[in-house]
Amino acid sequence: MRHILKRIMVTVTALPFALGLSMASADTIRIALAETPSDELAAFFVALDRAKANGLDYEWTAFADEELAIQAVLSGQMHIGFGTPYAAMQRSKAPLRIVFQLSKLKFFPVTTKKYSMLEDLDGEPILLHSRGGGTDAIANVIESRLGIMFGDRSYVPGSANRVAALLGGRADATIIDLSNKNKLMRSEAGGNFNVLEMFDVEASDEALFGNLDWIQENEGDVQIFVNALLSVYRDMHEDPTMVRRETNPDGPIGQLPEEILAELDGFYADAVEAGLYSPDGGGRTAAMADLEWYTAAGQLEGDPSTLNIEDFWYLEPLDAAMQ
């Protein structure tokens, strides 16, 4: 019930921003999440708690998808957002910049037993998260690298919802995240599905970004935020169980169902082992991987070797945090 109440509160909180009204003082960082709080955001909220302890004043709003979060930052309604807004950065006059890689594109093609390799999906329908999102980009790159073409693409937000479609016989192929892949394959129904072999990806799935003018005008608060994120990511690689231990029981993650909280240790252990989170915030390595990936995915134009990472990333806060 608490989780349901939190979802309602988030919806109500988002409404004034949609109307263009201000709910916070200029000293409060407004953060646009691209989804409601989940196990994958637990480390992020631990970082927020650490940042708050060091003087950061913030509020967050959960938007329905990444595109809405990007638009909220573009419009100035929100200061910091979740996403990989490469197309918007290249096409918009607003100087959006990424400051931290939150997670990598570690997604997995999962199918019924009808298929045993990616090439088998040539001409076959596939279920993805959202048009223009991370799984759509993965599908584009699979097509480009393997010389195949998927059939109809359908979109259902949320890996758990796409797993439900598999289990219900409404889909035979999808791309899902690490957590839901592991849950499915460890379940009693796991033997009915295949995880197809996938090439390694270092590009960003989620990143933290903002308007460069705002970032530079608020460099102190941004530095506190990046310092906190980096400290959590490094500590998490040393001991993944620290996320569960430091999760505030009264916060948005602490209000999730107990069965989800009970799996946090396993989720973060699996995530660290799979390389989902970079212990150095991504930095230049992630920036270069992003330019190559999102060009191949059709979300950036030009030769990635000629693109300047500083047109997409602002690295000073992360460089300072690394010292």
Residue range 258-308, pLDDT digits in tens:
999 999 999 999 999 999 999 999 999 999 999 999 998 888 999 999 999
- At residue 268, the pLDDT reads 96
Residue range 204-230, pLDDT digits in tens:
989 999 999 999 999 999 999 999 999
How many Å separate Cα 4 from the centre of its chain? Answer: 22
Evaluate if residue 2 carries a pLDDT over 70: no
Instruction: Tell me which residue has tokens 């230049």.
Output: 284
Residue 21: pLDDT band (50, 70, 90) is: very low
Cβ atoms within 10 Å of 97's Cβ, excluding its own = 22
Distance CA 4, CA 21 (A): 25
Distance CA 49, CA 235 (A): 14
The pTM of the full predicted model, rounded to 2 decimals, is: 0.82
Cβ atoms within 10 Å of 236's Cβ, excluding its own = 23
Query: In the structure encoding, which two tokens stand for residue 321, read together?
Result: 């945090």
